[in-house]
Amino acid sequence: MRMRTNFEAYFDDFDCINVFMSKNFYNGNSSIFHLKDTHDRIIPLTIRYRSELYNGYVHYDLSLNASSIQMGEEYTIYDEHCRTTIVKYGHIVKTVKFNDTYTYRGKDLGLHYTPTCSTFKLWSPTAYSILLFLNHDGNEEVYSMKRNAKGLYEVSVHKNCLSDPYYFLVRVNGSWRKIVDPYTSFSGPNSKYSVVMDISLLDLPEKVKMPPLHNNCDAIVYEASIRDMTSMPDIGVSYPKKFQGFTQENETTKEKCTGFSYLRSLGITHVQLMPVFDFGSVDEVYPNIFYNWGYDPVQFRCLEGSYDINPIDATSRVKAFAQLVANCHKAGIRVNLDLVFNHVYDKETFSLENLVPNYYFLMNREGAFSNGSFCGNDYDSQAPMAREYLVETCRRIVEWFDVDGFRFDLMGILDINVMNEIASVCKKIKPDFMIYGEGWNMPSFVSEDLRATQKNQHKMPHIGHFSDSFRNVVRGSDGQLTQKGFSSGDTSMIYSMMDRMSASGNTYDSPEKVINYVECHDNHTLWDKNQICCSDENKEIRKKRQVLATAMVLLSQGVPFIHSGQEFCRTKQGLGNSYNRSDNYNKIDYDRRNLFQDVVDQTKTLIQIRKDHPCFRLSTVEKTRENTRFQTIEDDVLIYECNDKEDSCISFFNPTGKTYHYVVSDDVQILFDNGNDNKNVTREITIAPYAVVVGEYQ
């Protein structure tokens, strides 16, 4: 926000300077202003209007009496009392003229390495000067970068710089700022420096070809954290909380069914990893001091060092993560990544911000920043170079690591055009690539018709959205812990459930876009919520409600999403938000898993049923409307029938304490019955209290 000092000035357009003067000095009055550049040339200015602001400042709108300013030059403004301040590049970077003049179309930003020469390129039209600091053979060398057209800065170092640490000093808006290379994927610990490296020199694992995913509805997504899956002691993992330990298997992990051995046992198709790219709230050298989920990005293209056994080696985390993905693929599990592109940990130290201040973040002409993310800054995905940065980041991640999908945090901060472009790029590399995110309508500066929200899902043909309406109908509102959903006993939700289980056909134009869930890393776990809204019920009943809700996720049309531990009634000890608590709150507790093994086994059975029966995986709205049918028993029990060609199933969901009976016209083979009241093949079906029954027509 502006007006932090007594005298501030901003280039807000090519012919406009806005000045703010405190009334503490000369009552904020000045009858004349002029500019001086670094060559002592004077540029007169004209006061277009003056206004007194409510906060003790006087605002002057000035026009330039010159043809134009020279972008990147450092200008000092003088008032009539000979007081001075540097004129900062403000809203000018948001103008059409700036984009038309300075957008760089080249694909060569960052570092290009050869054994005889390393070339460094940065885009910074507003910079006055940029210096490269390179540590070669233990000596720090300084190189001045040359400014070229479009605000491109470049320097070549004619020696073998492989593995050399480096950083930049950028002179912009009158001050020097130290930054790392925003275009590289090789970083020292805690983002202190970048490292000269070429991905082609690394011995990455061979990519494992996966059978094609015919449509997103064939996916069963399981959200997991690199740290949480292996943070529990004595589970047989040599590298707990690390990339290297995530896929480690041995006799102990197999015997105890822990870590990756447990993940494999579930039968899920996709693991969605919580943020694995560089975040700011954990010390990478001493990672056990702090805990964080990682939704506070520092470098979009560098992997998180605290997840690697050797954060000092910039290549180790790259090789380890590539191996993790390959190991998952060998086990038949695809890998989706949780990307946080909507905001950054600290805008003031973010490299791109320091190269071109204000350009990469949503800001209005008054200098206020959008805060739809509630983190103090929102990334501006509509700015051409900012959009290109995100698209190329996604391309690199897919090409380098062979991942299978992206989940976008607070996707509604981004715009529909960048999401469609990312989808196009990723699907050209992998046709069955999944892209989905949180399509909440956040109060940002992006116009509502351009936000990547659920409301605009019809404008994004290949982008899925988490269905919060599905969650709220099944479990009740997250904002009111005492409020029940259908699975927790509110049978008034039964007709709303019909739409949600048929892929919310009144909201989305494809089942492939609907991510059905009742629990994720955010908010209270389902078990913790039910302990409050079903507090009068014993543990055995609440276990059945847990299965009931999970069954609705796994058997509904759309894409099922399960939070790690949901299958064993995970608890965060009543916390709704454990993002920065300890491993004690966030770990995957395999002892608890053992106590709730019956719920785990039932979840596995439901997962296999979905995989075995295509009628639960209809891929178009037309099919869901034609091939799903709903009835009720006394408006208490939901009956759900679906078919696909020769495959036809009937399911019953009873959230009440009563027993019900239902007669079907043909024989049904019982696939699942956690009430244990039915014969293997029958026409007379009993639905026990709080039970789920699934049958296949013969």
Residues belonging to the active site: 409, 438
Would you state the structure tokens that stand for residue 335, as one six-digit string?
Answer: 């890998």
Would you state the structure tokens that stand for residue 215, as one six-digit string?
Answer: 């449509």
User: Which residues partner with 21 through β-bridges?
Assistant: 7, 58
How far is C-alpha 626 from the geometric centre of its chain's CA atoms? Answer: 35
396/393 Cα distance (integer angstroms): 5
Which of 613, 602, 614, 564 lies closest to 691, judged by CA?
Answer: 602
What are the φ/ψ torsions at residue 109 (nearest 5 degrees)? -70, 150
| Sign of the dihedral through C-alpha 440, 446, 448, 449 | negative
28/7 Cα distance (integer angstroms): 9
503/490 Cα distance (integer angstroms): 21
What are the φ/ψ torsions at residue 235 (nearest 5 degrees)? -110, 5
Alpha helices in 240-296 (DSSP H): 243-246, 251-256, 259-266
Collapse the DSSP code of 644 into the 3-class scheme (helix H, G, I; strand E, B; otherwise coil) and give the result: strand
The secondary structure of 120-184 as a DSSP string is EEEE-TT-SEEEEEEEETTEEEEEEPEE-GGGEEEEEE-S--TT-EEEEEEEETTEEEEE--TT-
363/91 Cα distance (integer angstroms): 8
Q: With contact defined as beta carbons under 8 Å apart, do 433 and 424 qualify?
A: no
- For the chain, the maximum distance between any two Cα atoms, rounded to a whole number of angstroms, is 95
Q: With contact defined as beta carbons under 8 Å apart, do 478 and 471 qualify?
A: yes
The three state secondary structure string of 225-254 is: CCCHHHCCCCCCCCCCCCHHHHCCCCHHHH
Would you state the structure tokens that stand for residue 361, as one six-digit string?
Answer: 């973040």
| Long-range CB contacts (within 8 A, 24+) of 105-108 | 106/152, 107/392
50/30 Cα distance (integer angstroms): 10
The secondary structure of 32-61 as a DSSP string is -EEEE-TT--EEEEEEEEEEE-TTSEEEEE
Q: With contact defined as beta carbons under 8 Å apart, do 438 and 295 qualify?
A: no
629/559 Cα distance (integer angstroms): 19
